[in-house]
Chains A and B, each alone.
Chain A
Amino acid sequence: MTALLNVKNIDKSFGRLNANKNISFDVASGEIVAILGENGAGKTTLMNIIFGHYVADSGLINFNGNELKAGDTKAAIDAGIGMVHQHFTLAENLTVLENILVGTQPLYQPRLSERKAKEKLKYLAAEFGLELSPQQLVRNLSVGEKQRLEILKTLFGDCKLLILDEPTASLTPQEVKTLFISIRKMVASGLGVILISHKLNEILEISNRIIVLRSGEVVGKVKTKNADKTQLGEMIVGRKINRPIRKENSFKEARIQLFQLSTKSGNGLAALKNVDLEVRGGEIIGVAGVAGNGQKALAEVLTGHNKPNSGKIFVNGKNLFGKTPSDFMNSGVAYIPEDRNADGIIGDMSVWENIILTESKNLKFFNKKGILNIKNSHELANSVCQKNDVRCQSIEQSARLLSGGNIQKLLIGKWLERKPSVIVACQPSRGLDEGAISAVHKTLLSERKKSTAIILISEDLDELLLLADKIVVLFNGKLSQFIENSNLNPNKLGLMMAGDGF
Chain B
Amino acid sequence: MILDLLELLFNAGFWAATIRIACPLLLATLGELICERAGVLNLGIEGIMTIGALVGWTTVYLGGDLSTGILVAAIVGASFGLLHAFFSVYLGASQHVTGIGITLFASSIGYYSFRLLLPSSTTPPKIMAFQPLEIPFFSDIPFLGIALFQHTAFTYFAFLMIPAVFWLMNKTPLGLSIKVAGENPMALEAQGLDVLFVRTIALMLGSALMALGGAYLTMSAFDAFYFGMVNGRGWIAIALVIFASWQPFRVMLGAILFAGLDAFQVRAQQLAGAFIAYQFFLMLPYLLSIVAMVFAARSTYYPRALLIPFRRGERH
- Please, how many angstroms separate the alpha-carbon atoms of A108 and B175 in the complex? 10
Contact between A90 and B313, CB atoms less than 8 A apart: no
Q: B interface, how many residues as a size bin?
A: 20 to 34
Q: A103-B192, A109-B172, A401-B315 are in contact. Are A91 and B179 (CB under 8 A)?
A: yes
Contact between B190 and A73, CB atoms less than 8 A apart: yes
Contact between A53 and B172, CB atoms less than 8 A apart: no
Smallest CB separation, A47 vs chain B (Å): 12
- Please, how many angstroms separate the alpha-carbon atoms of A107 and B179 in the complex? 13
Contact between A104 and B191, CB atoms less than 8 A apart: yes
- Please, how many angstroms separate the alpha-carbon atoms of A53 and B311 in the complex? 11
Contact between B183 and A94, CB atoms less than 8 A apart: yes
Smallest CB separation, B199 vs chain A (Å): 13
Digitize B183-206: 1 where CB-to-A-CB distance is under 8 Å, 0 elsewhere. Answer: 110111111110000100100000
Chain B positions within 8 Å of A93 at CB level: 179, 183, 301, 303-304
Contact between B188 and A103, CB atoms less than 8 A apart: yes
Digitize B60-102: 1 where CB-to-A-CB distance is under 8 Å, 0 elsewhere. Answer: 0000000000000000000000000000000000000000000
Q: A53-B313, A54-B313, A93-B301 are in contact. Are A77 and B171 (CB under 8 A)?
A: no
B244 at the interface (CB under 8 A from A): no
The total of interchain contacts (Cβ-Cβ below 8 angstroms) comes to 86
Contact between A92 and B184, CB atoms less than 8 A apart: yes
Q: Which residue of A lies closest to B201 (CB)?
A: A107
Smallest CB separation, A319 vs chain B (Å): 37
Contact between A74 and B184, CB atoms less than 8 A apart: no
Q: A interface, how many residues as a size bin?
A: 20 to 34
Contact between A99 and B187, CB atoms less than 8 A apart: yes
Chain B positions within 8 Å of A85 at CB level: 186, 190
Residues A91-135 near B (CB distance < 8 A): 91-94, 98-99, 101-112
Residues B156-189 near A (CB distance < 8 A): 171-177, 179-180, 183-184, 186-189
Chain A positions within 8 Å of B298 at CB level: none
Contact between A107 and B177, CB atoms less than 8 A apart: yes
Given A101-B176, A102-B188, A107-B174, list of 15 further CB < 8 A pairs? A53-B189, A53-B313, A87-B316, A91-B180, A91-B187, A92-B183, A93-B179, A93-B301, A94-B180, A102-B173, A102-B187, A107-B198, A111-B172, A112-B175, A153-B191
A-B contact pairs, 25 of them (CB 8 A): A73-B190, A77-B191, A78-B192, A87-B186, A87-B316, A90-B184, A90-B187, A91-B180, A91-B184, A92-B304, A93-B301, A93-B303, A93-B304, A94-B179, A94-B183, A98-B179, A99-B180, A102-B177, A102-B193, A103-B188, A103-B192, A105-B173, A111-B171, A111-B172, A112-B173
Across the A-B interface, give the 10 residue pairs with the lowest CB-CB distance, nearest first: A103-B191, A91-B183, A74-B192, A89-B187, A105-B173, A89-B190, A77-B192, A89-B186, A107-B174, A91-B180
